[in-house]
């Protein structure tokens, strides 16, 4: 990193698949890119719990019927279904404490193998200034202005530069020379981000303070939120993720 004005950061590192998996596992619900991996596993758990709830109702009906009309078959079936319900509850618990982390890693590694990730990993150099973020990798180079980014955060063992909820640059913590450099970089980046968006921040905060505005990612009601990030899903709030704010004539 250069200490001369204007401040500039230069990170050279080898981004690996393990870095991405660690980011997904560490961020989970706190980052919109990681959230889908968690939601898929959570849906599987809900299906098991839903079937267990159905069995609970069936057992309750059988017990009620057996008490009104004593019948060995009803009691036997109620006992069998109760055992099956207990087994499903155990399976749901195992999914939550054991299968969930393994499933998240499995889904993340499966995503890595898709064609869209072929240029994501490997040696790369990030040069970051107040004007832009430049990435030089083995097969491509890209430069983006700060207006294209929504937030800069530290999650899951890395620092991410989030680009409008659809993409992010991942900087592993090992790329920073020290904790103080990492903290300074996050502070500088957020200052550059705020300056790049100009009056957008004040406009967004004023709008969500006065109206019931829903997050475009998760539907959370943002009214009264004091930060430019959805507290439910972590979506960065800007003109790209909340276009309705800037389409409202009263907000101009």
Would you list the domain boundaries of the chain?
8-16+121-196, 21-116, 200-251
Handedness of CA 224, 226, 231, 233 (dihedral sign): positive
Maximum average pLDDT range among 99-113, 160-174, 206-220, 231-245:
206-220
Could you read off the pLDDT of 171-221 as tens digits, one per residue?
999 999 999 999 999 989 988 887 887 777 788 888 888 889 888 877 889
User: In a 3-state reduction of DSSP, which class is residue 144?
Assistant: strand
CA-CA distance, 175 to 67, in Å (whole number)? 69
Angle in degrees, CA 19, 22, 23, rounded to 5: 85
For the segment 155-168, the average pLDDT, to the nearest whole number, is 76
For the segment 139-162, the average pLDDT, to the nearest whole number, is 83
Q: Which residue has the higher pLDDT, 23 or 166?
A: 23
DSSP 56-116: HHHHHHHHHHHHHS--HHHHHHHHHHHHHHHHHHHHHHHIIIIIHHHHHHHHHHHHHTSGG
CA-CA distance, 3 to 10, in Å (whole number)? 11
Kindly state the percentage of the chain with pLDDT values over 90. 14
Could you read off the pLDDT of 66-80 as tens digits, one per residue?
677 666 676 677 777
Is the pLDDT at 4 greater than 50? The verdict is no
Could you read off the pLDDT of 163-183 as tens digits, one per residue?
755 678 889 999 999 999 999
Assigned CATH class of 8-16+121-196: mainly beta
Which of 115, 116, 107, 111 minimizes the C-alpha distance to 37?
A: 107
């Amino acid at each position: 990193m250069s200490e001369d004005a204007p401040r500039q950061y230069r990170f050279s590192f080898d981004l690996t698949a393990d870095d991405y998996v660690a980011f997904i596992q560490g961020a989970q619900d706190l980052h919109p890119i990681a959230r889908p991996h968690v939601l898929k596993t959570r849906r599987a758990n809900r299906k098991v719990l839903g079937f267990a709830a159905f069995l609970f109702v069936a057992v309750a009906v059988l017990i009620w019927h057996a008490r009104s009309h004593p019948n060995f078959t009803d009691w036997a079936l109620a006992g069998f279904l109760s055992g099956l319900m207990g087994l499903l509850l155990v399976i749901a618990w195992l999914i939550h404490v054991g299968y969930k982390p393994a499933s998240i890693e499995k889904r993340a590694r499966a995503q890595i193998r898709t064609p869209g990730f072929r240029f994501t990993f490997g040696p790369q150099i990030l040069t970051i200034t107040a004007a832009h973020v430049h990435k030089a990798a083995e097969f491509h180079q890209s430069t983006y202005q700060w207006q294209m980014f929504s937030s800069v955060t530290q999650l899951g063992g890395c620092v991410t530069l989030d680009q409008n909820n659809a993409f992010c640059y991942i900087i592993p913590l090992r790329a920073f020379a020290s904790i103080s450099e990492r903290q300074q970089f996050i502070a500088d980046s957020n200052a550059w981000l705020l300056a790049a968006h100009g009056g957008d921040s004040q406009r967004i905060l004023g709008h969500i303070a006065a109206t019931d505005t829903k997050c475009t990612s998760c539907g959370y009601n943002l009214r009264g939120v004091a930060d430019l990030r959805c507290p439910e899903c972590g979506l960065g709030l800007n003109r790209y993720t909340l276009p309705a704010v800037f389409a409202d004539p009263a907000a101009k």
